[in-house]
């Protein structure tokens, strides 16, 4: 059997890539003319949530490692990249501000930062992934919660990144092209990883870790890798988020954010496509609820009440369908309760 | 014998707290031999499997696979060196498809990295089609090819038992540890399984260590039988020898035979 | 130093009251009742209403708060956890988090997010004799709270060790299915356990409010988490373990709060701002080094 030449494998895809890029460019140019800043911001948040939730899906849904500290990785990516931009980036890029090649330089710079933020978060993922080797189920969940809170407390105390007042003056380098492009690339890459040796090893670990080990699957390696990959994409999302809102605060990445992401993954039922849809829906929902708040003249935002109610309702009503996909089945002998 | 043995257990002892589950067990298994471990419930048979796989540490003694010391290695390392196993209580990956159960087991054959997987590179495509072909081939041998796309947890019981054997084979083992493969099967299924196990040895040049309570199966397929009681070997020999051994009869019936 | 110890014990006492509920519920259900901190919060508000709206005496307010919390605990168990009794454990955990968020936010909608002043009930004046002779600031309020905590802990121990329902609780903790086969009404026992644990947390809420002089809808989150850490530290499922763990948590936190780390000539890092991070670090270390906790029993998965 002769191997077909490389181009026959890649050529059909080039068309797709070009098409996606063209659509993204159109969006990048067109949407700001059609929508106001508020709506654009919601769209950007939705794209960030898609990246965050699909990366959390790799950890929670595919690998079955229940993590409720994912916002901590987003925080690392956001703070790392925002700090670089505030401290150095703005000065570096100042000379290009009025040149025609300016937007390209800024985009290239931001892509570098996305990588940097992602890698920094991935290091955090490694730190959290290691305990996951010894912890299971609810204990792991609590440990990841603890990790997220530690990140928050540390950031609140580091004056170099603004401490409790938050980090102001982050330049708005995120463009719709980059944000949506990152979302598309993330979802595609994670889907492909899911459909590979790597993804199937994670699924096997989720289903039965002992059996997976008996088949030669190094569960320690794969579980850690799931945390590292998940954290990387969360860091990328953090970088894009920081460079769009221009202001970040440790409380933007607290336990509530992590729970929001868990809610999305649970709603999505572990299927990547549904997770992406749920991510968009959960981003739009509270914005709609904000109107309710104004209508009823409420003092505080009712959206968290509604979030919580949805979370409980989903667990109680749809648990068979949702949980089959997201949560590992209880194993005989492992628990009596 | 020791020179050519594929698996050598030398004075293996496994303890759980004060309980000695396996007591000073020595056993050699030659290539392409089928040795059965029998004994009453709680005799330590499954513990022997877990000790070989590295699930439980040895308190003393040594384990060698093809001359290589494997005691103390993690289960996934032992598996990579060519040991496959099935479980007493079926442990399939119930929530994924039959095909994916096998492909998960074949992950050692993957020769692409994460980036190539994410980008669906040419190596990825080639490897994936090779794995799928091999998995389908294995399923066909066991008459499960029609089930490839179904969730493993949805198969009938007998097929789940068979699938677990196929999954262990998919790792390409030299030594296969079968833990009560006939449990819960009806006589016809057991009969079929017996033929299957013998044919595996030929087809894949396998060596098999078998735990089984069904004496008909054990006597029918084994080259040698080792009897354990309270973690100790109380008898070993050909099936005919074992059937006549007074110590074995005592262990099973609980009283001395005069 | 002695002063720190007094403060540590006072803090530890409140943690113990919350930690017991975690540990008992975990014992019978293997569930981390995430909403437990919110039961504590609701207890504090019921007590607040009893004290400042109905002007009840302190002891009566504590009783009312315990009743209210017990009722809430029972409702949560019936409504949210019982339907999930046979679902994966993580399903129940997610639901528990949902209940926790729901209670917090209902609190925010009804009483607002701002801290509400809490009547001291007993004036926090230092006892003169101790202040003069040992330079210790110990208030009558602290002593009453400690005495009440001790009474509750002793009462709980008696219930668990001497009564029929206590025996049933221990049986269910040991093996729920076996207990059921022995004719124990496990649903009733679980309900009772929730009531008991919630009542104790409710009392803790009132003590906390009286001690710190304030209550708000989010007040349950951090003490709840820390009490959980205490329960894990002591060995979750173990009642003496929860008490020991809570005391240790009180000591560690008080110790860390009193430390000031110099960062540079002008900047210092006060331990009190890092207090919350310390609790989590302790948690993660305990989980890694000795997941069964100080007084817990390790478990092994059967292969």
Tell me the pLDDT tens digit for each residue of A290-317.
777 777 766 666 777 877 888 788 888 7
Domain ranges, residue C192: 2-219
Which pLDDT value is given to residue B6? 92
Q: Write the DSSP symbol of residue A162.
A: T
The answer to whether C17 touches C196, Cβ cutoff 8 Å, is no
Residue pointed to by tokens 């020999």: B237
Q: Write the DSSP symbol of residue B14.
A: E
Whole-angstrom distance, CA of residue B19 vs CA of residue B87: 22
Q: Residue A111 burial (CB < 10 Å; 0-12/13-18/19+)?
A: middle
Whole-angstrom distance, CA of residue A308 vs CA of residue B108: 43
Which pLDDT value is given to residue A218? 93
Nearest by CB to residue B117, choosing from A9, A196, A218, is A196
CB–CB contacts below 8 A, B to C: 5
Predicted confidence pLDDT, tens digits, chain A (337 residues): 456 667 777 778 888 888 888 888 888 888 888 888 888 899 999 999 999 999 999 998 898 888 889 999 999 999 999 999 998 888 887 777 777 777 888 889 999 999 999 999 999 999 888 877 777 777 788 888 888 988 998 898 888 888 888 998 899 888 889 999 999 999 999 999 999 999 999 999 999 999 999 999 999 999 999 999 999 999 999 999 999 999 999 989 988 889 889 888 888 877 888 888 889 888 887 777 777 777 776 666 677 787 788 878 888 876 555 554 455 444 333 333 2
Please name the helix (run of DSSP H) or strand (run of DSSP E) that holds residue B2, with its range, or none: none
Q: What angle (nearest 5°) sits at the alpha carbon of residue A138, between those of residues C72 and C73?
A: 5
Residues B109 and B167 in one domain: yes
Which of B137, B172, B207 is the endpoint of a domain? B172
Q: Which residues contact A53 (CB under 8 A, 6 or more apart)?
A: A261, A264, A265, A268, A275, A276, A278, A279
Q: Is C242 among the domain residues?
A: no
Main-chain phi, psi angles of B175, to 5 degrees: -120, 130
CB contact under 8 A, B93 and A324: no
The answer to whether B27 touches B63, Cβ cutoff 8 Å, is no
Main-chain phi, psi angles of A179, to 5 degrees: -65, -50
Which of B172, B190, B205 is the endpoint of a domain? B172
Which pLDDT value is given to residue A98? 77
Q: Does B55 touch chain A (CB under 8 A)?
A: yes
Which of A24, A241, A236 has the alpha carbon at shortest distance from A111? A236
Which pLDDT value is given to residue A249? 93
Parallel, antiparallel or unpaired: strands B60-65 and B175-179: unpaired
The residue of chain B with its CA nearest to that of C301 is: B55
- For residue A322 the two structure tokens come to 């949702």
Parallel, antiparallel or unpaired: strands B175-179 and B207-211: parallel
Which of A315, C10, A198, A106 has the alpha carbon at shortest distance from B128? A198
Q: Helix %, strand %, coil % for chain A, to 5? A: 80, 0, 20
Q: Is B89 among the domain residues?
A: no
Which pLDDT value is given to residue C252? 87
Which of C171, C192, C162 has the alpha carbon at shortest distance from C21? C192
Domain ranges, residue B133: 94-172
Whole-angstrom distance, CA of residue C71 vs CA of residue C199: 8
The answer to whether B238 touches B65, Cβ cutoff 8 Å, is no
Q: Is B125 among the domain residues?
A: yes
How far from each other are the two terminal CA atoms of chain A, in whole angstroms? Answer: 56
Whole-angstrom distance, CA of residue C62 vs CA of residue C55: 12
CB contact under 8 A, B79 and A193: no
Q: Which residues contact C3 (CB under 8 A, 6 or more apart)?
A: C135, C136, C137
Whole-angstrom distance, CA of residue C8 vs CA of residue A34: 60
Tally of domains in chain B: 2
Main-chain phi, psi angles of B40, to 5 degrees: -65, 165
Q: Is C201 among the domain residues?
A: yes
Nearest by CB to residue C277, choosing from A150, A266, A312, is A150
CA distances from A281 to A43, A49, A55, A107 (A): 11, 10, 17, 28
Which of B147, B172, B197 is the endpoint of a domain? B172
Residues B133 and B23 in one domain: no
Residues B60 and B103 in one domain: no
Q: Is B88 among the domain residues?
A: no
Q: Which residues contact C252 (CB under 8 A, 6 or more apart)?
A: C278, C279, C282
Residues B210 and B165 in one domain: no
Tally of domains in chain C: 1
Other C-beta atoms lying within 10 Å of the C-beta of residue B38 = 25
- For residue B229 the two structure tokens come to 């009681």
The residue of chain C with its CA nearest to that of A260 is: C98
The answer to whether B91 touches B76, Cβ cutoff 8 Å, is no
Q: Is C27 among the domain residues?
A: yes
Q: Is C300 among the domain residues?
A: no
C contact residues 107-146, partner A, Cβ 8 Å cutoff? 108-109, 112-113
C215 in helix, strand or coil?
A: strand
Chain A interface test: which of C280, C281, C303 (most A C-beta within 10 Å): C280
Whole-angstrom distance, CA of residue A125 vs CA of residue A132: 10
Q: Does B50 touch chain C (CB under 8 A)?
A: yes
Whole-angstrom distance, CA of residue C184 vs CA of residue B55: 37
The answer to whether C153 touches C243, Cβ cutoff 8 Å, is yes
Residues B59 and B33 in one domain: yes
Residue ranges, chain C, pLDDT below 70: 260-273, 297-303
Which pLDDT value is given to residue B96? 92
Residues B61 and B114 in one domain: no
CB contact under 8 A, B84 and A214: yes
The number of residues making up chain A comes to 337
Q: What sign has the CA pseudo-torsion A15, A21, A24, A25?
A: negative
For chain C, list the contacting chains (3+ Cβ pairs, <8 Å).
A, B
Whole-angstrom distance, CA of residue C268 vs CA of residue C114: 30
User: Fold for domain A36-326?
Assistant: ABC transporter involved in vitamin B12 uptake, BtuC (1.10.3470)
Residues B45 and B3 in one domain: yes
Residues B115 and B215 in one domain: no
Residues B151 and B255 in one domain: no
Chain A interface test: which of C27, C31, C105 (most A C-beta within 10 Å): C105
- For residue B181 the two structure tokens come to 């493969």
The answer to whether C137 touches C126, Cβ cutoff 8 Å, is yes
Strand partners, B228: B233
Other C-beta atoms lying within 10 Å of the C-beta of residue A248 = 26
Q: Is C24 among the domain residues?
A: yes
Which pLDDT value is given to residue A335? 33
Residues of chain A contacting C225 with CB distance shorter than 8 Å = 145, 149
- According to the 3-state scheme, what is the secondary structure of B143-211? CCHHHCCCEHHHCCHHHHHHHHHHHHHHCCCCEEEEECCCCCCCHHHHHHHHHHHHHHHHHHCCEEEEE
Residues of chain B contacting C300 with CB distance shorter than 8 Å = 16
Residues B78 and B182 in one domain: yes
For chain A, list the contacting chains (3+ Cβ pairs, <8 Å).
B, C
Residue pointed to by tokens 């308190």: B59
Domain CATH code at residue B61 = 3.40.50.300
Strand partners, B9: B27, B63
Q: What sign has the CA pseudo-torsion B151, B152, B155, B159?
A: positive
CB contact under 8 A, A203 and B100: yes
Other C-beta atoms lying within 10 Å of the C-beta of residue B8 = 20
C132 in helix, strand or coil?
A: helix
Q: Does C303 touch chain B (CB under 8 A)?
A: yes
Please name the helix (run of DSSP H) or strand (run of DSSP E) that holds residue B225, with its range, or none: strand B224-229
Distance of CA B87 to the CA centre of its chain: 8
Which of A316, A205, A192, A243 has the alpha carbon at shortest distance from A83? A243
Please name the helix (run of DSSP H) or strand (run of DSSP E) that holds residue A245, with its range, or none: helix A219-245
Other C-beta atoms lying within 10 Å of the C-beta of residue C261 = 10
- According to the 3-state scheme, what is the secondary structure of B86-99? CCCCCCCCCCCEHH
Residue ranges, chain B, pLDDT below 70: 1-3, 253-258
- For residue A333 the two structure tokens come to 């002998």
From the CA of C69, how many Å to the nearest CA of chain A?
A: 20
Which pLDDT value is given to residue C266? 59
């Amino acid at each position: 059997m002769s191997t077909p030449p490389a181009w026959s494998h890649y050529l059909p895809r080039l068309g797709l890539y070009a098409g996606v890029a063209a659509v993204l460019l159109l969006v990048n140019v067109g949407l700001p003319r059609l929508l106001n800043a508020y709506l654009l911001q919601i769209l950007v948040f939705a794209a960030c949530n898609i990246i965050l939730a699909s990366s959390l899906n790799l950890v929670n849904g595919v690998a079955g490692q229940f993590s409720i500290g994912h916002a901590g990785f987003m925080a690392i990516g956001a703070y790392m990249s925002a700090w670089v931009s505030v401290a150095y980036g703005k000065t570096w890029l100042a000379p290009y501000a009025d040149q025609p090649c300016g937007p390209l330089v800024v985009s290239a710079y931001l892509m570098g930062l996305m990588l940097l933020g992602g890698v920094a978060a991935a290091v955090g993922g490694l730190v959290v992934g290691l305990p996951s080797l010894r912890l299971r189920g609810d204990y792991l969940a609590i440990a990841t919660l603890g990790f997220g809170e530690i990140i928050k407390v540390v950031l609140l105390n580091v004056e170099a990144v603004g401490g409790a007042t938050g980090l102001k003056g982050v330049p708005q380098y995120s463009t719709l092209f980059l944000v949506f492009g990152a979302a598309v690339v993330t979802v595609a890459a994670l889907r492909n990883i899911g459909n590979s040796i790597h993804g199937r090893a994670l699924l096997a670990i989720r289903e039965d870790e002992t059996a997976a080990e008996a088949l030669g699957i190094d569960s320690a390696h794969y579980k850690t890798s799931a945390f590292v990959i998940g954290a990387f994409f969360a860091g990328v999302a953090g970088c894009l988020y920081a460079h769009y809102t221009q202001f970040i605060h440790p409380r933007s990445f607290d336990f509530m954010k992590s729970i929001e992401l868990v809610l999305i993954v649970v709603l999505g039922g572990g299927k990547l496509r549904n997770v992406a849809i749920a991510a968009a829906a959960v981003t739009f929902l509270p914005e709609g609820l904000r109107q309710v708040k104004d209508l009823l003249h409420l003092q505080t935002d009712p959206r968290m009440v509604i979030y919580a109610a949805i979370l409980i309702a989903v667990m109680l009503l749809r648990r068979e369908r949702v949980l089959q996909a997201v949560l590992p089945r209880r194993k005989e002998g492992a628990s009596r309760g | 014998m020791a020179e050519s043995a594929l698996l050598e257990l030398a004075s293996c002892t496994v303890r759980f707290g004060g309980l000695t589950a396996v007591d000073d067990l020595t056993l050699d298994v030659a290539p392409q031999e089928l040795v059965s471990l029998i004994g009453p419930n709680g005799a330590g048979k499954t513990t022997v499997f877990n000790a070989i796989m590295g699930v439980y540490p040895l308190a003393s003694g040594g384990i060698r696979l093809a001359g290589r010391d494997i005691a103390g290695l993690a289960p996934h390392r032992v598996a990579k060196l060519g040991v496959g196993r099935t479980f007493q209580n079926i442990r399939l990956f119930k929530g994924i498809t039959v095909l994916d159960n096998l492909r998960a087991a074949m992950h050692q054959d993957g020769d692409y990295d994460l980036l190539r997987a994410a980008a669906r590179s040419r190596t990825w495509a080639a490897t994936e089609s090779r794995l799928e072909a091999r998995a389908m081939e294995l399923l066909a041998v066991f008459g499960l090819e029609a089930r490839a796309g179904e969730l493993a947890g949805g198969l009938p019981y007998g097929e789940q038992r068979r699938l677990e054997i196929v999954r262990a084979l998919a790792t390409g083992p030299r030594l296969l540890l079968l833990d009560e493969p006939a449990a819960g099967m009806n006589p016809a299924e057991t009969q079929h399984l017996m033929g299957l196990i013998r044919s595996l040895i030929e087809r894949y040049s396998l060596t098999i260590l078998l735990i089984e309570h069904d004496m008909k199966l054990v006597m029918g397929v084994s080259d040698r039988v080792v009897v354990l009681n309270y973690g100790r070997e109380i008898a070993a020999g050909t099936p005919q020898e074992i059937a006549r051994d007074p110590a074995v009869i005592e262990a099973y019936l609980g009283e001395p035979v005069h | 130093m002695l002063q720190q110890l007094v403060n540590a014990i006072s803090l530890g006492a409140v943690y113990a009251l919350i930690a017991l509920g975690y540990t008992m519920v975990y014992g019978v259900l293997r569930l981390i009742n995430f909403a437990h901190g919110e039961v504590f919060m609701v207890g504090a508000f019921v007590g607040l209403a009893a004290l400042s709206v109905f002007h009840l005496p302190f002891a009566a307010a504590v009783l009312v708060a315990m009743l209210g919390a017990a009722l809430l605990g029972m409702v949560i168990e019936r409504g949210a956890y019982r339907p999930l009794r046979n679902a994966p454990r993580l399903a129940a955990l997610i639901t528990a988090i949902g209940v926790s968020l729901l209670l917090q936010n209902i609190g925010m909608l009804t009483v607002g997010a701002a801290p509400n002043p809490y009547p001291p009930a007993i004036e926090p004046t230092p006892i003169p004799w101790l202040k003069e002779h040992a330079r210790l600031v110990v208030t009558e309020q602290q002593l009453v709270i400690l005495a009440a905590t001790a009474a509750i802990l002793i009462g709980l121990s008696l219930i668990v060790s001497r009564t029929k329902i206590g025996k049933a609780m221990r049986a269910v903790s040991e093996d729920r299915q076996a207990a059921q086969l022995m004719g124990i009404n496990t649903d009733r026992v679980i309900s009772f356990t929730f009531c008991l644990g919630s009542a104790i947390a409710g009392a803790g809420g009132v003590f906390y409010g009286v001690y710190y002089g304030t209550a708000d809808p989010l007040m349950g989150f951090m003490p709840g988490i820390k009490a959980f850490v205490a329960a894990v530290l002591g060995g979750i499922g173990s009642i003496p373990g929860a008490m020991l763990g809570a005391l240790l948590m009180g000591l560690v936190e008080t110790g860390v709060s009193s430390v000031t780390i110099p960062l540079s000539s002008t900047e210092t890092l006060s331990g009190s701002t890092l207090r919350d991070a310390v609790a989590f670090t302790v948690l993660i270390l305990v989980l890694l080094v000795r997941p069964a906790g100080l007084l817990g029993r390790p478990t092994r998965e059967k292969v």
